Structure 1
Amino acid sequence: MPLIRNSYGKGRVRVMRVHRDAPRHEVRELTIQCMLTGAFDAAYTEGDNRSVIATDSIKNIANIVARDHVGLDNEGYCRALAQYFLDRYDHVETVEITATETKWTRIAVDGAPHDHAFTLDGNGRPLVKVSASRDGATLVSGISGFTFLKTTQSGWEDYWFDEATTLKPTADRLFATAMDASWRWAGTPASYPQANAAVLAAALKVFATTYSPGVQNTLYLIGEAVLAAVPEIAEITIACPNKHYLPIDLSPFGRAFDGQVFTPTDEPHGQIECTIARG
């Protein structure tokens, strides 16, 4: 029976490019599908894989091209990725690259866009909880999945080491999280929307402008800042997964890691939680 058509490739290749040649960093996070057609029929009809470029190699090529073209816009990167296959593999006839971007917007600190701290576009889901009885009521506001990152000014060092420890210390890492936070009201603010906005502004200012020795310390400092900014809040509970962006080892391809190309991953993640209340 005839083989009418075929294509193959690699899907859901996640790449974060951080262009950090200047104090003002640029971030571009893509999820990529790369599909090839060409002289691959024998792999289907004969089980002959000699012409097949392994899908793991396709993933590696996406990372190599990302490292070599950190500063290109997404369109330029995808064109360069497609051209890489056409230039190196004569038996590849067509390359189809589909890339979707996870958009990040600069955090505004005191009205100015920050150089290396960002929030996710279309960010967070505000929430309200009321517990009421004839004896009284409590009101809690909050937000779920409020996502932000910074490309520097974060580290993780001097933690407990034993036979199970494999993680290497670092004084400079990418820090990203999707925060769930709720704050219990002790009084009524002049405007709930304005007070809630002040909570997020205080949290993001701490995140963007202070060095983080660990998620734990950053959460505590955020809680302190929120209570100082909004006096009607009695306490705030914060839960933050440590969303990992893993450095990609390109040394097998003659390229050093210099904080510019990462693999985004959500699972497994560190889960850090705390509650900060007025004394």
Structure 2
Amino acid sequence: MKLLSNRYGKGRVRVMKILRADDTHTVQEVNVLALLTGDFAASYTESNNSKVVPTDTIKNTVNVLAKEHLGAEIERFGLSLGRHFLQRYEQVESATAEIHAKNWQRMTIDGEPHPHSFAAGSEAKMWTQVVCRRGGAEEIRSGVRDLVILKSTQSGWADYPKCEYTTLPETRDRILATSFEASWTWSSAPANYNTANDAILAAMLAVFANNYSPSAQRSVYEMGEAALQACPEISRVDMAMPNKHCLLINLKPFGLENQNEVFVPTDEPHGQIEGSVVRND
């Protein structure tokens, strides 16, 4: 027998930092997963822990580097973590930092943005994954998870193959709702990750809202195209669009017609539509 692969680290390291610009504050709250690969096989096969950095030390490192490096752009914080573990421990071959940011929204009081009061936003989270490898190779992905979006019309599903097990009727006017996930891979660093991420997400949501959707598959492709057009520094977009179905309620037994007005929302079971879009070159 032999050990095929291994990695380890610390997960769900939660850190909140107040970013201060005079009297105006910004809340940055992150949830970090840090993973290491390297010369750790002896710990698995020989009970030899002499090269294994304790996961508690990894947690402490996240906290200390948050004090020094955590700012508005979580991608740059991920780079500081990955580079630190490679520089500090010669036995580490790669360090991965996956970081999710909580959506704190500034309150508006008496029509003005408040300098230091916030409300929790939606469950949608911006995130990044940074992988730093010995030798200088670095890979960065950014994206969004748990973004629940819905359009109440301008979506359909028709012209699909049918068999003896098909019960779904065709429609050219339906609700399209999903808990959207997307990630994009950086080929070069933008001037500002947050500004670029906002532009990418805005481009995808504009396509979702404005274009007629003959299928979630078509929407995924068009949203990926829009993201690549919006930001020349990304080379690939990966997306998942699990349906949140809205099923039309049959009101005929009660003498009523239901003209796409009353639905049962459900996400079990759900369709799972995924796709990746890259540049031609």
SS of aligned partner of 2:270: strand
Unaligned runs of 5+ in 1: 1-120
Give the superposition deviation at 1:123: 4.4
Q: How does 1:171-250 map onto structure 2 within 5 Å?
A: 171-250=172-251
Alpha-carbon distance in 2 for matches of 1:174, 1:123: 21
Alpha-carbon distance in 1 for matches of 2:161, 2:173: 19
> Which one scores higher on RCO, CA 8 angstroms, separation ≥ 6?
1
What amino acid is the match of 2:214? P
Figure out how many residues of one structure are paired with residues of the other and give that number: 159
Alpha-carbon distance in 2 for matches of 1:164, 1:137: 49
SS of aligned partner of 1:200: helix
Alpha-carbon distance in 2 for matches of 1:197, 1:166: 41
Give the superposition deviation at 1:127: 0.9
Give the superposition deviation at 1:131: 1.4
Alpha-carbon distance in 2 for matches of 1:159, 1:180: 25
Give the superposition deviation at 1:192: 0.5
Q: How does 1:43-192 map onto structure 2 within 5 Å?
A: 122-135=122-135, 136-192=137-193
Q: Please give the per-residue CA displacement for 1:3-61, whole angstroms capped at 9, x wherever unaligned.
A: xxxxxxxxxxxxxxxxxxxxxxxxxxxxxxxxxxxxxxxxxxxxxxxxxxxxxxxxxxx
Give structure 1 regions of 4+ aligned residues with deviation exceeding 2 angstroms: none
Q: How does 1:31-46 map onto structure 2 within 5 Å?
A: none
Q: What is the Cα-based RMSD across aligned positions, in Å?
A: 0.9
Alpha-carbon distance in 2 for matches of 1:138, 1:219: 24
Alpha-carbon distance in 2 for matches of 1:148, 1:219: 13
SS of aligned partner of 2:263: strand
Q: Does 1:273 align with 2:270?
A: no
Alpha-carbon distance in 2 for matches of 1:224, 1:153: 20
Alpha-carbon distance in 2 for matches of 1:128, 1:229: 19
Q: Please give the per-residue CA displacement for 1:194-218, whole angstroms capped at 9, x wherever unaligned.
A: 1111111001100111000000000
Give the superposition deviation at 1:126: 1.0
Give the superposition deviation at 1:256: 0.5
TM score, norm. by length of structure 2 = 0.56
TM score, norm. by length of structure 1 = 0.56
Alpha-carbon distance in 2 for matches of 1:214, 1:231: 27
Q: Does 1:257 align with 2:261?
A: no
Alpha-carbon distance in 1 for matches of 2:184, 2:167: 36
Alpha-carbon distance in 2 for matches of 1:202, 1:149: 16
Alpha-carbon distance in 2 for matches of 1:239, 1:145: 10
Give the superposition deviation at 1:188: 0.8
Alpha-carbon distance in 1 for matches of 2:144, 2:229: 19
Q: Please give the per-residue CA displacement for 1:108-149, whole angstroms capped at 9, x wherever unaligned.
A: xxxxxxxxxxxxx61411111011111301000011111100
Give the superposition deviation at 1:190: 1.1
Alpha-carbon distance in 2 for matches of 1:218, 1:191: 27
Unaligned runs of 5+ in 2: 1-120
Alpha-carbon distance in 1 for matches of 2:206, 2:176: 15
Sequence identity percentage: 48
Give the superposition deviation at 1:162: 1.1
What amino acid is the match of 1:132? C
